[in-house]
């Protein structure tokens, strides 16, 4: 009997990424480059910079401009809930999925968060 790490004659050795090759496969892949036809718009203030970083983390796309659309960047329902949760945790503002449809860019979300903070 052989262990899973022992090569068997006539079978190829473990391929990179196999569970037995000793590498850590738990880390996420590197972020994808931004692939939109629109021009990149840099953050204009600290809140926009923080939100852009949060979006980049959730969507695994870099860089994300202030006018880039969440859904054009590959955002879907699981990303939306992760983003909404992190906005609440990091900025103390509760957003709904409907809010994300209404403010689907970092710039628009920053405005919505600023308005909600003023309402307090």
Task: Provide the b/e sequence for 70-108 (b: ≥16 CB within 10 Å).
Answer: beebebeeebbeebbeebeeebebebeeebbeebbbbbb
Q: How far apart are CA 95 and CA 102, in angstroms?
A: 11
Write the pLDDT tens digit of every residue in 16-27.
555 555 556 677
Tallying the residues shown for the chain, one arrives at 120
For the segment 71-94, the average pLDDT, to the nearest whole number, is 95
Q: Tell me how crowded residue 40 is: count the other CB atoms within 10 A of its CB.
A: 12
Radius of gyration of the CA atoms of the chain, in A: 20
Q: How far apart are CA 96 and CA 80, in angstroms?
A: 9
- Say what the pLDDT of residue 96 is: 94
Class in CATH terms, 36-119:
mainly alpha
Query: Is residue 112 scored above 80 in pLDDT?
Result: yes
Query: Is residue 81 scored above 60 in pLDDT?
Result: yes
**Three-state secondary-structure class, residue 33:** strand
**What tokens appear for 53 in the block?**
């970083």
Write the pLDDT tens digit of every residue in 6-54.
556 665 555 555 555 555 667 777 788 878 888 999 999 999 999 999 9
Closest-CA residue to 99 (of 56, 70, 63): 70
């Amino acid at each position: 009997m052989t262990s899973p790490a022992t090569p068997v004659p006539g079978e190829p050795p473990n391929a990179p990424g196999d569970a037995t090759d000793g590498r850590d496969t738990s880390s996420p892949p590197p972020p994808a480059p931004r692939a939109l036809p629109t021009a990149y718009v840099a953050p204009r203030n600290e809140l926009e910079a923080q939100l852009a970083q949060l979006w980049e983390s959730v969507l695994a796309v870099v860089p994300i401009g202030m006018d880039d659309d969440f859904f054009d960047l590959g955002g879907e329902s699981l990303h939306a809930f992760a983003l909404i949760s992190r906005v609440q945790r990091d900025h103390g503002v509760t957003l709904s999925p409907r809010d994300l449809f209404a403010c689907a860019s970092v710039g628009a979300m920053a405005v919505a968060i600023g308005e909600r903070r003023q309402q307090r």
